[in-house]
Structure 1
Amino acid sequence: MTRLFCVFVCLLCYSLVQSQQETKSVTVKFISEKIVPDGIIDEPIWEIAQSADEFWEYFPLDSIQARKQSQIKILYDHKNLYIGIKAYSIGKNYATQSLRRDFRGSGSDSFSLVFDTFNDGTNAFLFGINPFGVRREGLIANGGTSQDDFNLAWDMKWKGNAKIYDDYFTAEMVIPLTSFKFEEGTTKWRFNSYRIETQSNERSTWTRIPQNQQIYNLAFMGDMIFEKPLGKSRTPLALIPYVNGIAEREFDGNRNFNNVKVGADAKISVGNSLNLDLTLNPDFSTVEVDNFITNLTRFEIALPERRQFFIDNNDLFASFGNGFDFSPFFSRRIGIAQDTLGETIENNIIGGVRLSGKLTNDLRVGVLNIQTAEDLENRIPSNNNTMLALQQRIFSRSNIGVFFINKQSFQDYDFVERKDEYNRVLGIDYNLASKDNTWNGSFITHKSFQPDDSKGNFATSALIRYNKRKFNVFAKASFIDEDFRSDLGFVRRTDLFKTLLSLERVFWPKKGIVQNHSFQYFTNVRWSPSRSFLNTDYDLRSRYEVNFNNQSRASIAYTNSFTFLFNPFDPTRTEGAIPLPANENYFYNSVRAGYQSDQRKIFSYAIESSIGRFFNGDRFSVEGGMTMRFQPKASVSLMFNYDQIDLPQPFSSANIWLISPNIDITFSKSIFWSTLIQYSNQRDNLGFNSRLQWRFAPLSDLFLVYNDNYFVNVFAPRFRSINLKLSYWLNI
């Protein structure tokens, strides 16, 4: 055992010190004239720019030069970064979902540029454009290790356009330097670019990236060298006021509500490296609606943050913890509360302030303070929500972070119990990331404090991931004390000791229609520490997956599960049903198979089905979706989920449906209309959300949003609202 441990340590150290392939670089020249981004690279000034070219193929192979090459030219002045792109193709039949900004997906043509402005391999800015001139911008966090580290909800002002020719397209982008954060006087940023080319079914990158890594992983980047050092950023104050007219009707209580809300956000740059965000009486009524999810588990499900105020540098606050089991800060807790019936309702935010960014090249800081309003009718106190976070980079891409969270009401409310007067969490996380991203991991310890309860209350976790072309190993252990609390976080369950192990072998055929295929064995075992480490759950899964060269994929898995119920539980959530009894063992197994078609096609689909035992009964499930494109201006999609649960008498059986069609129409690059319909008999709700958006100026919008909800069991109106909201981004 000692010998194995020594070998493991030696391999880890070797990976940390080994460098990757020779670093590519491109020189960025300083200019004094302006470039108008019309998408046509015909200005003579482009002739002096050095080209970033010789792209590598990432898919279907990662060992050859790209078949359809691209060229990038970058220039700059005191205010802007100018980017010219020429990307070769086999024709003009480019794929796109629509003309909506912030597009995403491997089934659409796109060209993206990634800028690591602090050269830390941890965070980066992404700006992208497609052949139709549609733009997007995003943030990459945590080194770009997983899909969760890629966030397109971030917005910034910049200009760009594109022009399509017979066998290539060109694009021009003008990005204000104030869009970035960087160290004054710097002469180098780490840089990479990736392209998705649907006609030749190719994905390519400027710096070569192995396929076992994400295409935007920050461990694999070149350098862009500035001819002159960058100066001090002179970002103007951005003021974003809004006015929102609201008309609502709640049919159940026969109540009408009409109101006009006003408020504002402000963005202030503190030097080159810090952001100060302010919000007063924010309104999130125009944020995209959450997708319904069928929940057959005993636990809460986390949904992604979509509110713009919380997005920038959100990883600095939200990446503490191990994600699935416990996260001490989950921003969606702010502005949401429970009424006297235990129903989730909106809790108004009075205002907030957030400071985030770099103090030094290696030290990041985040400070957040938000005050929510009291709601005496629903017995909800006014709470102050505070978080302080520090993150220090160590080695090449690893970091250590500490945080403190406090949720507290500073008034005396007779309906607030002593144990709920405040909740505080203190923690430290070490995040490991080797230079070539072969090794990732984290080692975490958190402790919570409540009134008259300061002993124990720990949550700890350790995980390690080894990621190579042919082998992937993931191991994790977590402990969560039964009294651990994080009122501003997401804790799936307490009184938990959990071990997880995943072993995967990937095969890469040299010929044929298969791009790769893999076999994975996965174990997830849970115990209850307070019950003398009683084994409460396990899942043992074997999975086989095939990825084809045409981007379709298929998989099949067998899972053997065990659950010990602590409390009575009805998985169907049928009103008045007899729940499954507690203190019983349930053994069950299932088979799941799925297929996803080529997402580049005008019509694409995905379907997955499972069948097997479920607690003391049976379950059959089928879920999937389909999308039809009417390029380039519209798409229609349908998501569905069906669960047939058959439990023996006297327990409840159910047929649970979730059907969600969506219509997305872009009349132009500035006028968008989307309609989402969601039917869920588990939620007893049929909802309509229709949103018309006119972006009449950069990041300035006029919204018209209509919501309508019905009970489905008796089909009666439930809630209806209409919003007319105007917001304007004003630089002062």
Structure 2
Amino acid sequence: MKSMIICLFFLIPYALLANDKEKKEKAFGVNIEPAVSVMQIDGELDPKEWADAELISGFTQQIPNEGMPASSRTEVRMKYDEDFLYVAATLYQNAKEGYVVSSLKRDFRFYENDAFAVILGPYDDGNNGFMFSVSPYNIQMEGLVHHGDRVSDVWDNKWFSSVKRYEDRWEVEMAIPFKTLRFTEGATQWRVNFLRNDRKNFERSSWVPVPLNQRIASVAFSGYLNWDKPLKKPGSNIAVIPYLAGNASKNHQAGEATVSGMAAGFDAKVALSPSMNLDLTFNPDFSTVEVDQQQTNLNRFELFFPERRQFFLENADLFGDFGFSRIRPFFSRRIGIATDSMGRSTNNRILYGARLNGNLGDNFRLGVLNMQTETEESVGYPGQNYTVASFQQKVFTRSNIAGIFVNRQTTGQIKDAGRIADFNRVVGLDYNMASEDNKWTGKFFYHQSFSPDVSGDTKAHGSFLGYNSKRFNLRWNHEYVGESFNSEVGFVPRRGYWRLEPSMMYRMIINSDKVFQQTFQLVYDLYQDEDFQLKMDERLSFVYRLYFKNTSNLQFRLFNEYIYLFSPFDPTRTGGERLAAGTDYSYTRAGLTYSSDSRKLLNYSSTVYMGEYFNGERLFVNTNLNYRFQPFGNISLFAEYNKIDMPTPYNDASLWLVGPKMDVSFTDKLFLSTFVQYNSQIENVNINTRFQWRFKPVSDLFVVYTDNYHPESFQIKNRALILKLTYWINV
């Protein structure tokens, strides 16, 4: 009840301030006409093809000089035909200055490269859309825009582009199939913006101005693309992506023989309408995903590793963005994991799955996901069926009400499986708030879990409200998780607490040749028990950041922290004597981070923290060293060191985590990456090498080799070799 009152307190004034779309001034608009001839996508802007297209220019800086005209001119033109939306851009510059390009690999990071991008918002909700970007070397990046300004670049689809480089400019042409996009049939207007990142000159600009304190890819700051006639439904759009995989592995540590196998399966994408898509998967294989970067675990709670499997990533916000980052009712990495009777995790093969997602009109989004796993007799884990259903209904200008239902149901039969409940369910309702100018954002949610033989407080709720202006960034956050809240398919590392987390940041823009801006931030983070009688954790942080115009930055942090232990805990996690339950600790530490000019071929960042740690002391050093042999790739070295000194009888520890990595792009179709990770905490050296040949758009051959070694003797623990072929077929 307390949380509901808090929510209403914030919702009522916001509703009164919301502006109707009809009253919004449309200061930026572009009219698009059909192409009168066949468009050649060759990177050369033929005057005959583009002469009658409306010219879009007058880009405005976002950084470093907000509101000022861009230093270099950018010109954009658009056309369309029955199958494609065409975008052409001329980006003027002195070629002798060179370009900043990370590699020839697809899905580069827009903010770290010289690049041009178009933002499309087919649904006029100011939150969802598409981003298509090209570098001066014609490397593509496409992404889904969600929550207004967050770009998910894991989305892969077919589109075409070409680039030509000249002494005074580079020119790009794009052809984006309407089948690739999602839109409402009969629409006459889309949101649109054009972005340019001039990385070498530390300048970002856009057609529709975007405030310095906002992300430049925000759909909230966009103009309008006016079609000359209502859009028609594109032709049938069905794609089948079959795969064939072979593997061989050997567990040397257990003295087992080499095991090999073959697998085949497929994914399918079926466009039920221009705005609704059905994804199917049968016997999926996730063996070629990139390896997780390991973490030194000094935490009392479960660590979070992001999802990397392609099937779960497209439109992931419809399923995975409910609640907060540490109160997730659905976390897709739970699917495909089995737990044996000893509590150890192993793979649980997914048999098949389906996902329906998209829009029903401009204001309503729908998502339904169902996955079935196999019974694992060897570990005593029965098959499971996972169902997730969600919706988002737009309210006001850019806000929405969203609901989710998550169900895990045991479907297989196995002896001694009584430890696994027949089902676990979570139902939740979220309100996602965003003002028209994106200064005000927020989230308010209430979730309830249902499990057999579970009683007590099974609810979780939270509220977040943020105000972001050019000077101030103010945030309020509260969380509550009941002791019996049980989200088995979610990510909820701790239960039975209240959390209050207000913060304030002051931003100061500095008008000098070298310094861009500086910020001062205070964050208070408090965990209390359910009755507000016992303080569990408390942290007060001060953070100072200084940003330079050469892209380098400096950061200073000061922490004062309090921790109460509910259970025994070894602060080094090395199996030594544990601190007793019921004891508490208060300590202070400080840290400094510096990141160098990332535009240089050789760049680095380093962090050092020193101070008290429980009843001992801790030194933390983290360094990232990167060399870019442009444009063919990167060589990097990640190193982390923790030195923990504890009084007798507790363990001291010197923990290393070292990870050299090499990414090579031989061409824009041939890639090789090797990632070596040494983790002294788990006494392991891991080597992962991955070769990729993209022989056609979204069609690949992968070769992945993995080794694990004992770090002292380099004796082999296990190794595996995987070959996988995928092929995109348009039906």
Query: TM range, normalised to the smaller chain?
Result: over 0.9
Q: Please give the secondary structure, in 2, of the residue aligned with 1:563.
A: strand
Corresponding residue for 2:489? 488
Contact 2:336 2:350 in 1 (8 A): yes
Q: Which segment is superposed worse, 504-513 or 163-172?
A: 504-513
Letter paired with 1:686: V
Distance of aligned partners of 1:654 and 1:700 in 2 relative to their CA distance in 1, 3 Å threshold: same
1:36 aligned residue: 40
Question: Which one-letter code corresponds to 1:658 in the other structure?
Answer: L
- Give the superposition deviation at 1:604: 1.1
**How many residues align structurally?**
722
User: How far 1:21 moved relative to its partner?
Assistant: 7.0
User: 1:416 maps to which residue?
Assistant: 417
Aligned residues of 1:80 and 1:175 also touching (Cα < 8 A): yes
Q: Report how far residue 108 of structure 1 moved.
A: 1.5
**Is the 2:270–2:278 Cα contact (8 Å) retained in structure 1?**
yes
Q: Is the 8 A contact 1:15 1:436 kept in 2?
A: no
What secondary structure does 2:33 align onto? Answer: strand
Distance 2:9 2:331 in 1: 38
Could you tell me how far apart the structure 1 residues matched to 2:398 and 2:203 are? 29
Question: Partner of 2:556 in structure 1?
Answer: 556
Q: Is the 8 A contact 1:635 1:663 kept in 2?
A: yes
CA displacement, residues 335-378 of structure 1 (integer Å, 9 cap, x when unaligned): 12333443332211000011011122211111100001111111
What secondary structure is seen at the aligned counterpart in 2 of 1:491? coil
Question: Which range moves more in the overlay, 381-390 or 33-42?
Answer: 33-42
Give the partner amino acid of 1:636: I
Identify the residue that residue 207 of structure 1 maps to in structure 2: 208
CA contact (8 A) 2:249 2:718 kept: yes
State the 1:578 CA deviation.
Answer: 1.2
| Paired position in structure 2 for 1:572 | 572
AA of the residue aligned to 1:86: T
Amino acid aligned to 2:376: D
By how many angstroms is 1:15 displaced? 5.3
Pairs within 5 Å for 1:93-242: 93-144=98-149, 149-242=150-243
Report the Cα offset of residue 17 of structure 1: 3.0
Match of 1:267 among 246, 266, 269: 269
Cα RMSD between the aligned structures?
A: 1.9
Answer yes or no: is the 8 Å Cα contact 2:61–2:204 preserved in 1: yes
Which range moves more in the overlay, 624-633 or 124-133? 624-633
Q: 1:553·1:597 contact (CA, 8 Å) conserved in 2?
A: yes
Q: CA deviation at 1:294?
A: 1.6
How far residue 303 of structure 1 moved from its aligned partner, in angstroms, is: 1.7
Give, in whole Å, the separation in 2 of the partners of 1:498 and 1:506: 26
| Cα displacement string for residues 433-488 of structure 1 (whole angstroms, at most 9, x for unaligned residues) | 00001111111100000002355300000110011110111011110001111111
**Does the 8 A contact of 2:483 with 2:495 survive in 1?**
yes
Aligned to 1:322: 324
* Structure 1 residue 626: Cα displacement: 1.6
AA paired with 2:91? Answer: A
In the other structure, the counterpart of 2:447 is: 446
Separation in structure 2 between the aligned mates of residue 373 and residue 596 of structure 1, nearest angstrom: 47
Q: 2:588 aligns to what SS in structure 1?
A: strand
Is the 1:15–1:435 contact (alpha carbons within 8 Å) kept by the matching residues of 2?
no
Distance 1:455 1:77 in 2: 60
Q: Which runs of 5+ in 1 are unaligned?
A: none
**Partners of 1:470 and 1:372 in 2: CA distance:** 51
1:313-350 CA deviation, whole Å, 9 max, x = no partner? 11000110012x20001111111233344333221100
Q: Which residue of 1 aligns with 2:30?
A: 26
Change in Cα spacing, 1:41 to 1:298, as seen in structure 2 (3 Å) is same
2:637 alignment partner, SS class: strand
Q: Which amino acid aligns with 2:152?
A: N
Deviations 1:567-595 (A, max 9, x none): 111132213x1112111011111001111
Separation in 2, partners of 1:22, 1:187:
15
- Aligned-pair CA distance for 1:226: 1.3
Which residue in the other structure is 2:466 paired with?
Answer: 465
Cα 1:9–1:406 shift into 2, 3 Å: closer
Alignment partners' CA distance in 1, 2:17 and 2:308: 37
**Distance in 2 (alpha carbons) for counterparts of 1:410 and 1:286:** 28
CA distance in 1, matches of 2:53, 2:655: 60
Amino acid at match of 2:500: T
SS at match of 1:51: coil
How far is the alpha carbon of 1:417 from its aligned partner?
A: 2.9
Which of 290, 293, 301 aligns to 2:292? It is 290
Match of 1:544?
Answer: 544
Matched, 1:684 2:683: yes
What is the 5 A alignment of 1:579-590? Answer: 579-590=578-589
Alignment of 1:361-440 (within 5 A): 361-417=362-418, 420-440=421-441
Give, in angstroms, the shift of residue 729 of structure 1. Answer: 0.3
Name the structure 1 match of 2:535: 535
Q: CA deviation at 1:61?
A: 1.3
Aligned to 1:702: 701
Residues 216-274 of structure 1: CA deviation (Å, up to 9, x unaligned) = 11211111111222100224210110100100111222232100010100000011111
TM-superposition CA deviations, 1:171-198 (whole Å, max 9, x none): 1111101110000011111011211112
- Aligned match of 2:58 in 30, 54, 58? 54
| Contact 2:627–2:635, Cα closer than 8 Å, also in 1 | yes
Query: SS of the residue aligned with 2:311?
Result: helix
Residue 539 of structure 1 contacts residue 559 of structure 1 at CA under 8 Å; is this kept in 2?
A: yes
Cα distance in 2 between the residues matched to 1:29 and 1:551: 40
Report the Cα offset of residue 13 of structure 1. 5.6
Contact kept, 8 Å, 2:381 with 2:414, in 1: the verdict is no
Task: State the secondary structure of the residue aligned to 2:18.
Answer: helix
SS at match of 1:63: coil
Q: Take 1:206 and 1:684, find their aligned partners in 2: how far apart are those partners?
A: 53
Alignment partner, residue 523 of structure 2: 522
CA distance in 2, matches of 1:417, 1:482: 22
- Equivalent-residue separation in structure 1 for 2:420 and 2:629 (angstroms): 56
* 2:383/2:413 contact within 8 Å kept: no
Q: 1:638 is matched with which residue? A: 637
Structure 1 position 551, deviation (Å): 1.4
1:669 aligned residue: 668
- The match for 2:92 is 88
Is the CA contact 2:183–2:274 (under 8 Å) kept in the aligned structure 1?
yes
Query: 1:22, CA displacement in angstroms?
Result: 4.8
- Give the C-alpha shift of residue 26 in structure 1: 1.1
Distance (whole Å) between structure 1 residues aligned to residue 77 and residue 7 of structure 2? 48
Q: Compute the displacement of 1:14 (Å).
A: 7.0
SS at match of 1:403: strand
Is this contact kept in 1: 2:457–2:483, CA < 8 A? no
Q: Deviations over 1:95-150 (max 9, x none)?
A: 11110000015332111111111111111111110001111111111111xxxx32
Say if 1:161 and 1:30 are closer, same or farther in 2 by CA, change over 3 A: same
Tell me how far apart the structure 2 counterparts of residues 152 and 683 of structure 1 sit (CA, whole Å): 32
* CA-CA distance at 1:8 after TM superposition: 8.0
Contact 1:419 1:452 in 2 (8 A): no
Shift of 1:43: 5.2
Q: Give the TM-score of the pair, scaled to structure 1.
A: 0.96
SS in 2 for 1:248: strand
Aligned mates of 2:59, 2:630 — CA distance in 1: 28
Contact kept? 1:457, 1:481, Cα under 8 Å: yes
Q: Could you tell me which runs of 5 or more consecutive residues in structure 2 were left unpaired when the two chains were aligned.
A: 1-5
> What SS does the corresponding residue of 2:179 show, helix, strand or coil?
helix
Letter in 2 for 1:612: G
Contact 1:192 1:205 in 2 (8 A): yes
Rounded Cα–Cα distance in structure 1 between residues aligned with 2:687 and 2:39: 45
Give the letter aligned to residue 308 of structure 1. Answer: Q
The one-letter code of the counterpart of 1:119 is D
**Distance 1:374-1:6 versus aligned 2 partners, 3 A rule:** closer
